[in-house]
Structure 1
Amino acid sequence: MPVIDLAGCPVKTGSIYPEPYATMMAGRSSLRLGDAGGLTQFGVNLVTLQPGALSSLRHWHMAEDEFVMVTLGECVLVQDAGETVMRAGDCAAFPAGDPDGHHFLNRSGSVAQFLVVGSKAPREVATYSDVDLRIEIKAGRARFTYKDGTNWAGVRDEP
């Protein structure tokens, strides 16, 4: 099945983040294009951000490379060094292990979309730069912890 019908792909909304972070993802949705095409070695998602929405908490991946290409509208890439406005055709790459957290914000008055391509490492740890949270993924199962590795039990003050 080489051709993927976008209209036939289920729209994924919401977030697996624990609260209060899951609620912050309102206005973000995605199409899992790689899954729809049967890909197993890397993921491909088309992310849609409504005006005012953000893509994720600012994060970085220990084991997975990530590539983003804006396909519609305008969004703001936020990293440690500051903000960069990105428009349709602009690309960004985030190598595995680089601790410069990133996410995208839609501050425009129109819908923004971007394509995300990322490897699917069998074991992964992603750290969320601005909050005391990380996710560990092993054998397809996700577990949220604090940055010190203890199990997540709700928001706490930074140690």
Structure 2
Amino acid sequence: MNKRINIHNIDMKYIYDPEFKSNLKTELIGDAVGTEKFYINIDYVKPGGESVKYHCHSSKEEFFMIIDGEGILRVNGREVKVREGDVISFPAGKSTAHQFINSGEVILKILDVGTREEDDVITYPDENVVYIKDKNLVFNIDDSIKGWKSDPNT
């Protein structure tokens, strides 16, 4: 056993928005215990709030389990109801756009587990944005260069 914590006493440096002023609070459980190849988070979404922006990954594999509450999972243009006990996976490389929305009256609590992938490219379809996280580069898809080719001989 390398490191042990209790999630009820997690160090504040491993919590996004510890005072829960926005619609999302995230506890970085995996970071707190030192996981390297995958992350483990617990997300708390207020009623009416969204977990994250609608997005998909190029190479990250993700797993979610609804611990408490109910909501909507936006997935590839559809809306699917989710509730306590539901388990959802997004295999690596499938580019499945997703986002959780709390449509209930209590906090939506989600176990969020995924792989840590270098050079993962995240696409945000609602905004036409591509984000290369490791390089902190953001591109607007609408600004693409027309007629560009990768072949140097053309």
Deviations along 1:12-40, whole A, 9 cap, x unmatched? 129xxxxxxxxxx9311100000001101
Is the aligned partner of 1:124 residue 2:120? yes
- TM-score when normalising by structure 1: 0.78
Which runs of no fewer than 5 residues in structure 1 stay unpaired? 15-24, 151-159
Q: Which residue of 2 aligns with 1:110?
A: 106
The residue identity in structure 1 corresponding to 2:6 is D
Q: Structure 1 vs Structure 2: percent identity of aligned residues?
A: 27
Matches within 5 A, 1:72-87: 72-87=68-83
The residue identity in structure 2 corresponding to 1:13 is D
Which runs of no fewer than 5 residues in structure 2 stay unpaired? 145-154
| CA distance 1:114–1:149, shift in 2 (3 Å) | farther
| CA distance 1:123–1:107, shift in 2 (3 Å) | same
Shift of 1:130: 1.3
From 71, 80, 86, the counterpart of 2:67: 71
SS at the partner of 1:109? coil
Give the distance between the partners of 1:144 and 1:76, measured in 2 at CA: 28
| CA distance 1:91–1:149, shift in 2 (3 Å) | farther
SS at the partner of 1:69? strand
Count of aligned pairs: 138
Q: Which residue of 2 aligns with 1:7?
A: 8
Choose 1 or 2 for highest CA Rg.
2
- TM-score when normalising by structure 2: 0.81
Q: Which residue of 2 aligns with 1:19?
A: none
The answer on whether the counterparts of 1:136 and 1:143 sit within 8 Å (CA) in structure 2 is yes
Shift of 1:2: 4.5
Q: Which residue of 1 aligns with 2:29?
A: 33
SS at the partner of 2:34? coil
Q: Which residue of 2 aligns with 1:22?
A: none
| CA distance 1:118–1:148, shift in 2 (3 Å) | farther
The residue identity in structure 2 corresponding to 1:4 is I
